[in-house]
Amino acid sequence: MRLLEGGIDILQIRAKEQPKAEIVKYAEAMLPLTKAAGVPLILNDYPDLLNEVDADGCHVGQEDFGVDQARELAGRGCVVGKSTHTLTQAHTAVREGADYIGFGPLFPTGTKPTAEAIGLAALRALHEQVQLPIFCIGGVKLENLRDIMRAGAQRVCLVSDLLLAPDIAKRTAEVKSVLSFAG
């Protein structure tokens, strides 16, 4: 709720260690709030759950499903995003028909402690070469957001910096302010 109050543009349920039944419960609890706010809800990893819940789409990783397979498992038209970590993977996601890509982790991140950070060097080239919405992720925080935007990012995903903030709505609004100013 606090994220919505702060003005997020999209919300993803990422519950890697939770049973699918719990993820369905989370989605069913969130959907009335996100729909009322006009904020798309995306399920991470489980496109088949879109048969049970009215989320707007799913997001799959490199080791999960291809985009076509995710759409087939979803059983209906929906948004499908794909995680990428290199320019080659980003181009593959475009060819697969992804609606957007996640690109990262830019920096070390607690949500993926074993993932190697890729840094900011490839961002400008990525945006020049890939004509999909690109969400930069991994260690993105209010404190480094301006540097990330100067490196060419147009969209970002934040997790810990928002969810661990003393005032989630305020931090979300601060991030939105920086993004609005950069755009």
Dig out the tokens for 144 from the structure. 């480094």
Q: Check 82, 83, 141, 171 and give the catalytic one.
A: 83
155 is catalytic: no
**Partners of 81 in the beta sheet?**
59, 100
Query: End-to-end distance of the chain based on CA atoms, in angstroms?
Result: 25
Distance of CA 123 to the CA centre of its chain: 16
The candidate with the shortest Cα–Cα distance to 140, out of 114, 112, 166, 167, is 112
Decide if 161 contacts 127 (C-beta within 8 A). no
Q: Check 71, 82, 112, 155 and give the catalytic one.
A: 112
Phi, psi of 154 (to 5 degrees): -115, -20
**How big is the chain, counted in residues?**
183
The 8 Å CB, 24+ separation contacts for 27-34 are: 27/53, 27/55, 28/53, 31/55, 33/1, 33/4, 34/4
| Greatest distance between any 2 Cα atoms in the chain | 41
177 is catalytic: no
14 is catalytic: yes
Active site residues: 14, 83, 112
